[in-house]
Structure 1
Amino acid sequence: LSCKASGFNIKDYYMNWVKQRPEQGLEWIGWIDPANGYTKYDPKFQAKATITADTSSNTAYLQMSSLTSEDSAVYYCARPIYYGNGYYFDYWGQGTTLTVSA
């Protein structure tokens, strides 16, 4: 899955990926610092997801392995900003629907 950002340089932000299944809440998958390639994942997705980025094309990527129906969802990239006392996502990608058929 890919997310080409527009209007900002991804190497200036930690780029996050978020999962949303129908009628369920958002699940944070992890983030990458495109400036150095450092990544951090929710333990639930540690063995499932791989996040990469290409600063030359200003694009973040999410690769999912060993797909099952539980992976069927809409996946969003998101950019965080710090405001007040915490981080918030102020930019969301258009979302990519992944459907895993049985």
Structure 2
Amino acid sequence: MGINLECVQSEVQLVQSGAEIKKPGESVKLSCKTSGFTFTSVYMYWIRQAPGKGLVWVGRIDPEDGSTIYSQSFKDRISITTDNSISTAYLLRVEDTAVYYCARDTVRDNNVYPISTWGQCRIVAYTNSVLF
């Protein structure tokens, strides 16, 4: 898996850890470490792309108060949380093979939330094989 995408806007950075391979039924916790902006001032998003499919919005969290909104397709299968002390967003209980992206918005003005910065891709693959 040679995909590596990192988008940086000026000093703003969103960095995700590396790829993971899991067995079916196992869960994974994805992290998105941020820097260069006030973490609690913007919404954080998770977006995914399954093999051969387009981008799908998974959900978002407001780090300021912890409120979340999930896509209907994922709401019973995932959980988005943050640790504001280390400016990090998490996506828990991922159960599907896909490329997962974290992203943040730019401003909260007039109910428009344009996504401005994307994190590195985080690949999660589920396989029946046992890796050593």
TM-score by length of 2: 0.67
5+ residue gaps, structure 2: 1-29
2:120 aligned to 80, 94, 97, which one?
Answer: 94
Q: Deviations over 1:70-101 (max 9, x none)?
A: x1111111112358x94321110112111111
Specify every segment of 5 or more residues in structure 1 that has no aligned partner in the other structure, as ranges.
none
Aligned length: 98
- Structure with max Cα Rg: 2
**RMSD (Å), alpha carbons:** 1.9
1:52-76 deviation digits (Å, cap 9, x = unpaired): 00110000000125x2xxx111111
Runs of 4+ aligned residues of structure 1 deviating over 2 Å after TM superposition are 85-88
TM-score by length of 1: 0.86
Q: Which residue of 2 aligns with 1:31?
A: 60
Cα distance in 1 between the residues matched to 2:106 and 2:41: 11
Q: Aligned to 2:91, what secondary structure does the other structure show? A: strand
Distance 1:87 1:36 in 2: 17
Which residue among 63, 69, 77 is the counterpart of 1:40? 69
| Higher strand residue share | 1
The structure where helix makes up a greater share of residues is 1
**Residues in 1 aligned to 2:71 and 2:61: alpha-carbon distance in whole angstroms:** 12
Q: Percent identity?
A: 45
Code of the residue aligned with 2:83 in structure 1: it is D
- Which structure has the higher relative contact order (CA within 8 Å, separation 6+)? 2
Q: Which residue in the other structure is 2:103 paired with?
A: 78
SS at match of 1:44: coil
1:53 alignment counterpart: 82
